[in-house]
Structure 1
Amino acid sequence: MEVSGWKRSLVYYADWALKLVYVNILWLFGSVLGLFVTGIFPSTIAMFAVIRKWLQGEDDFSTFMYFRQVYQKEFLGSNLYGYIWAILGFILYFDLQFFRQFTSLWSLLLTYFTFMIGVIYVLCLLFAFPVYVHFQLRPLQYIKNTILLVLSQPIVSVIMALAFYFPYYLMIKIPGLLPFFCGSLIAFCLMMIAMKLFNKLEKKAQ
């Protein structure tokens, strides 16, 4: 018997909620499996890849098998990619703290400049994983394209920031959601917006 109206909407959203809970559990398990140090990046890439498939309307695949496949295939590449971003973040943080120690005009200007670069860096992190799972590039090309996206799409970048903030705020206010949606809900929101942008850019390129 086919449901309609509000019941159909309820089934639709319940289905998505269950899928996000499941992939979130896989993400946590994959992160712990690599002791977080080597597991967090391949697990995050695998989670984004699964969500990307769902957003493309693909449901006829084993979530667990596909997650494991991406996790294993991208284990080295995702760790290299993730730690490049981590090192860049550390350098920016170190520079910002260093310049803040001085009171000269040049130090003040360098502090503000580094802070602005840091804002761009944070926005780049929101695009980093969607770009990785959507395109086939080399690690440095991923980073270059991510930076270009942020600089060329400031409005979308702000929307991405909000797409990160609202799920984060929701889970802070309702801590009981954390074990079930802490990664997947944010990944879903970011991937959904990023894919709309990617599709728009690909249509323009054609």
Structure 2
Amino acid sequence: MRDKIQRILEILTAFFFLNMLWIIFCLPIITIFPSTMTMFSIVRRWKQNEIDYDLAKLFFSEFKENARKYFLLGVVWLIFGILLIIDYFFIITIQFEARNLLFGLLFLGTFIYLGMSLFIFGIAVNFDLPKKAIIKNAFLYTIGKLGTTVLTVMILVSMVIICYIVPYLLWIIGSITAFFIYTTMSNMNRATWEKDSSQK
């Protein structure tokens, strides 16, 4: 019993430190994308192998590689997210006839954006693909694997709501969310997800 409790505490500590590193590396804002990519890469390692507790060295090494490969993509993706927020503000504050129609289209666009964002992280860390292929496959997965998309987006939204209700969970919920999302993606699409992942 004591060993099990100790193991649980060790795992929670690992998720806590991973989450803290993710938050620290996200602080410049424009590094959110490579930092999140790094977190997904590490939870992928944890799912396939034992948890690596030398997190600082591992995170920094992975972050440098992801920043080199995905920094510009991350900036563009962040701009798209900001534009969506501006659109919501515009629709909410201004009255016009087509408001409900535009709100519905914006909601659909947001769903696709969130789904693609999650799949981009999952695909990029699992498959060795060019950036254009990653984006293309993220879109195809988002539309073609609707069940996975809905479930992963629901996990993300639920975790955000939980964190809003219990703010101190911010210090650990990001890494746990990434683990649940990646696990859901890989388990629900096991045939394709594991086909080439060993080449990564």
- With the length of structure 2 as denominator, give the TM-score of the two structures: 0.79
Partner of 2:181: 190
Are 2:82 and 1:103 equivalent residues in the alignment?
Answer: no
Taking a change above 3 Å as real, the CA distance of residues 140 and 87 of structure 1, as seen in their structure-2 partners, is farther
1:197 is displaced (CA, Å) by: 3.3
Are 2:37 and 1:65 equivalent residues in the alignment?
Answer: no
Partner of 1:154: 146
Q: Distance in 1 between matches of 2:175 and 2:57?
A: 17
Unaligned regions of 5+ residues in structure 2, if any? none
Indicate the percent of aligned positions where both proteins have the same amino acid: 25
What is the aligned residue count? 193
Q: Could you tell me which amino acid in structure 2 is paired with residue 127 of structure 1? A: F
- Is the contact between residue 123 and residue 150 of structure 1 (CA under 8 Å) also seen in structure 2? yes
1:161 is displaced (CA, Å) by: 1.6
Taking a change above 3 Å as real, the CA distance of residues 25 and 114 of structure 1, as seen in their structure-2 partners, is closer
Partner of 2:78: 86
Q: Could you tell me which amino acid in structure 2 is paired with residue 28 of structure 1? A: I
Q: Could you tell me which amino acid in structure 2 is paired with residue 81 of structure 1? A: L
Are 2:66 and 1:74 equivalent residues in the alignment?
Answer: yes
Q: 1:22 aligned to 17, 23, 31, which one?
A: 17
Q: Could you tell me which amino acid in structure 1 is paired with residue 17 of structure 2? A: Y
Specify the structure having the higher radius of gyration (Cα).
1
Q: Could you tell me which amino acid in structure 2 is paired with residue 103 of structure 1? A: E
1:130 is displaced (CA, Å) by: 1.6
Are 2:128 and 1:133 equivalent residues in the alignment?
Answer: no
Q: Distance in 2 between matches of 1:171 and 1:57?
A: 28
- With the length of structure 1 as denominator, give the TM-score of the two structures: 0.77
- Is the contact between residue 168 and residue 186 of structure 1 (CA under 8 Å) also seen in structure 2? no
Greater Cα shift, 152-161 or 182-191: 182-191
- Is the contact between residue 40 and residue 178 of structure 2 (CA under 8 Å) also seen in structure 1? yes
1:89 is displaced (CA, Å) by: 3.8
